[in-house]
Amino acid sequence: MIRLLRSALFLAGMVIFTVVYFFVAVLARPFSLKIRYYVVAKAWSRVMLGWLRLTCGLKYRVIGWENVPETPVVVLSKHQSAWETLAFQSIFPPLAWVLKRELLRIPIFGWALAVVGPIAIDRGSGREALRQIVAQGKARLGKGIWVVVFPEGTRVNPGEKGKYNIGGAWLATHTGVPVLPIAHNAGEFWGRNAFLKSPGVITLSIGKPIDVTGMKADELNDRAERWIEAEMARISGRRDGGA
């Protein structure tokens, strides 16, 4: 019952904070993409993570900080939960998500998301989607903005693995920027499409950047997949540490 009440309190606060930051996003629209990101996305993320910690007792720890480069990268990350869509915006430099175009049509949340410059694609368009990722991704990277791709395309349950799609690796090999692989066990505390959240400490692990020089997209994708899945096995079930 306590977990239910805490989760309901978090959701209520999330709705309120998102509406507030939607209006902030509208006011911030005339400014540059980076300024909009710091004013809207990063600020909203930090508020939400603090609220999550306060209401649900859910914290996080980061290992592999030394692997974070100073130059823009393409992030390939495990996707288990809604947590990473909150946390990455606070943890990392300004970033752009590669996401389904339909998400931008969600009232309030989607409209605010559009202000911070995501790479919205039609996933059903095949090679055209790859061209969209490269064109828009190159523009974001050129402005010093990271690009985040969930190669499995959708959230997967802990212990499961989806097909790793090639879009993120394709972008990296066509722009020459490194890939930063990321693993985390957020799904053990905040499950896929779950309302209830469990208290504890999420472990997020950052791998060493992968130099894409001379690599083909499928080779790069396989290498990132091997690291992410091996690291998932290593951190699975860890509930120690804190942030």
> Tell me, what's the pLDDT at 126?
64
Q: Domain 2-235 falls in which CATH fold?
A: Glycerol-3-phosphate (1)-acyltransferase (3.40.1130)
- Across the chain, mean pLDDT equals 88
> Tell me, what's the pLDDT at 171?
95
Distance CA 39, CA 116 (A): 10
Residue with the bigger pLDDT between 73 and 236: it is: 73
Q: Phi first, then psi: what are they for 213, rounded to 5°? A: -55, 125
> Tell me, what's the pLDDT at 125?
63
> Tell me, what's the pLDDT at 199?
96
The pLDDT tens digits of the residues spanning 63-119 come to 999 999 999 999 999 999 999 988 999 999 999 988 777 666 777 666 666 666 778
Residue with the bigger pLDDT between 124 and 170: it is: 170
**Structural domain spans, the chain:** 2-235
Give the closest residue to 180 by CA, choosing from 81, 111, 87, 78: 78
**How far are the Cα atoms of 3, 130, 150, 233 from residue 93, in angstroms, in the given order?**
32, 24, 17, 27
The pLDDT tens digits of the residues spanning 11-40 come to 999 999 888 888 887 787 777 777 777 777
**Strand pairing class (119-121; 74-77):** unpaired
The pLDDT tens digits of the residues spanning 117-132 come to 778 777 666 677 788 8
Q: Determine how many CB atoms are found less than 10 A away from the CB of residue 199.
A: 15
What would the 3-class secondary structure string for 51-74 be? Answer: HHHHHHCEEEEEECHHHCCCCCCE
Tokens of 108: 């309030």
- Average pLDDT for 146-162: 92
Residue 126, SS3 per DSSP = coil
pTM to 2 decimals?
0.88
The residue with tokens 């957020």 is 186
